[in-house]
């Protein structure tokens, strides 16, 4: 979640930075041209940061999805085991194997 916020913040900064470029270009002086070049360099750097954050978010989402699928597989395995237990318990009951009664010497 923090990565999504960081990515959004960087995107917002890039958009605002891009709006400054035309104003710096209009200045026209050597000082304005230096500022323009610095802004362009900063914009390229911010775009690389943004791309890196997006990639990290995608990898994080894949990990989360993988963990969720693994949890689902464990849950399915539990259901199958419970079903097998219930089937075996009923077979034992059907064969007259009430284990508690036999253990006490009842049948």
Q: Is the pLDDT of residue 107 over 50?
A: no
Model pLDDT, residue 105:
52
Q: Which tokens go with 3?
A: 């990565």
Neighbours of 79 (CB within 10 A): 10
Indicate yes or no: pTM above 0.85: no
Top-ranked range on mean pLDDT: pick from 13-22, 32-41, 61-70: 61-70
CA distances to 70, 74, 86, 90 from 81, rounded to whole Å, are 17, 10, 9, 14
**Domain residue ranges of the chain, discontinuous segments joined by +:** 2-103
Residue with more model confidence, 84 or 105: 84
């Amino acid at each position: 979640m923090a990565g999504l916020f960081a990515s959004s913040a960087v995107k917002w900064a890039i958009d605002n930075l891009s709006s400054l470029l035309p104003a710096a270009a209009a200045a026209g002086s050597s000082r304005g041209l230096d500022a323009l070049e610095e802004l362009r360099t900063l914009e390229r750097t911010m775009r690389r940061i943004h791309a890196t954050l997006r990639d990290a978010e995608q990898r994080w989402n894949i990990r989360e999805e993988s963990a969720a699928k693994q949890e689902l597989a464990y849950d399915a395995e539990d259901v199958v085991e419970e079903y097998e237990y219930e089937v075996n318990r009923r077979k034992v009951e059907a064969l007259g194997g009430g284990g508690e009664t036999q253990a006490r010497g009842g049948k």
